[in-house]
Amino acid sequence: MTKRKLPIGVQTFREIREEGCYYVDKTAYAHRLVAAGKHYFLSRPRRFGKSLFVDTLKELFEGNEPLFRNLAVHDRWDWAVRHPVVRLDFSGRNFTEPGHLETNLTRQLDGMERRAGVGAPYPAGPERLAHLIETLHERTGRRAVVLVDEYDKPILDALGKPEVARANRDALRGLYSAVKFSDAHVKFTFLTGVSKFSKVSLFSGLNNLRDVTLDRRYSAICGYTDADLDSVFAPELPGLDRQAIRDWYNGYHWLGEDRVYNPFDILLLFDTREFKAHWFETGTPRFLIDTLLRRGVASPDLAGMSGSEALLSTFDVDEMATEALLFQTGYLTIRDVEARAGRTRYRLGYPNHEVRQSLNEHLLNALLPEASRRLAEGGPLRELLAANDFEGLEALFRAVFAGIPHQWHTNHRIAEYEGYYASVFYSCFAAQGFDLMAEESSARGRADMAFRFNGRVYLFEFKTVRKEPTGAAMAQLKARGYADKYRHLAEPIHLIGVEFSREARNVAAFAVERA
CATH 3.40.1350 domain extents, the chain: 367-514
Residues lower than pLDDT 70 in the chain: 198-207, 284, 411-413, 415-417, 438-445
In this structure, which amino acid lies at residue 41? F
Distance CA 435, CA 303 (A): 11
* pLDDT value, residue 309: 84
* pLDDT value, residue 494: 97
3-state secondary structure of 482: coil
Using an 8 Å Cβ cutoff, are 62 and 83 in contact?
A: yes
CA neighbor of 129 nearest in space, from 171, 97, 92: 171
CA distances from 99 to 155, 158, 164, 168, 377 (A): 13, 12, 9, 9, 42
CA neighbor of 375 nearest in space, from 392, 396, 356, 357: 396
513 φ/ψ angles, rounded to the nearest 5 degrees: -140, 150
> What DSSP string runs through 109-145?
HHHHHHHHT-----SSHHHHHHHHHHHHHHHHSS-EE
DSSP 8-state assignment for residue 471: S
Distance CA 147, CA 453 (A): 49
The model's pTM is: 0.92
CA neighbor of 64 nearest in space, from 17, 133, 113: 17
CATH 3.40.50 domain extents, the chain: 25-218
Instruction: Find the distance separating the first CA and the last CA of the chain, reported in whole Å.
Output: 52
294 φ/ψ angles, rounded to the nearest 5 degrees: -65, -35
Distance CA 176, CA 207 (A): 10
Distance CA 228, CA 261 (A): 10
Using an 8 Å Cβ cutoff, are 219 and 47 in contact?
A: no
State the number of CA atoms in the 13 A half-sphere of 390 facing the CB: 13
DSSP 8-state assignment for residue 438: E
pLDDT tens, residue by residue, 266-308: 999 999 999 999 999 887 678 889 889 888 898 988 988 998 8
Using an 8 Å Cβ cutoff, are 32 and 65 in contact?
A: no
Which contacts qualify for 440-443: CB closer than 8 Å, 24 or more apart?
A: 440/482, 442/480, 442/481, 442/482, 442/484, 442/485, 443/481, 443/484, 443/485
Q: What is the CATH number of domain 367-514?
A: 3.40.1350
Distance CA 354, CA 244 (A): 11
Antiparallel, parallel or unpaired: β 506-514 and 493-501:
antiparallel
Q: What is the CATH number of domain 25-218?
A: 3.40.50
Using an 8 Å Cβ cutoff, are 130 and 182 in contact?
A: yes
Using an 8 Å Cβ cutoff, are 456 and 493 in contact?
A: yes
3-state secondary structure of 55: helix
* pLDDT value, residue 120: 85
State the number of CA atoms in the 13 A half-sphere of 95 facing the CB: 30
To the nearest 10°, the Cα dihedral for 160, 166, 171, 177? 120
* pLDDT value, residue 287: 84
CA distances from 91 to 169, 323, 334, 472 (A): 16, 24, 26, 52
Using an 8 Å Cβ cutoff, are 42 and 213 in contact?
A: yes
Residue 40: in which H helix or E strand, if any?
A: strand 39-43
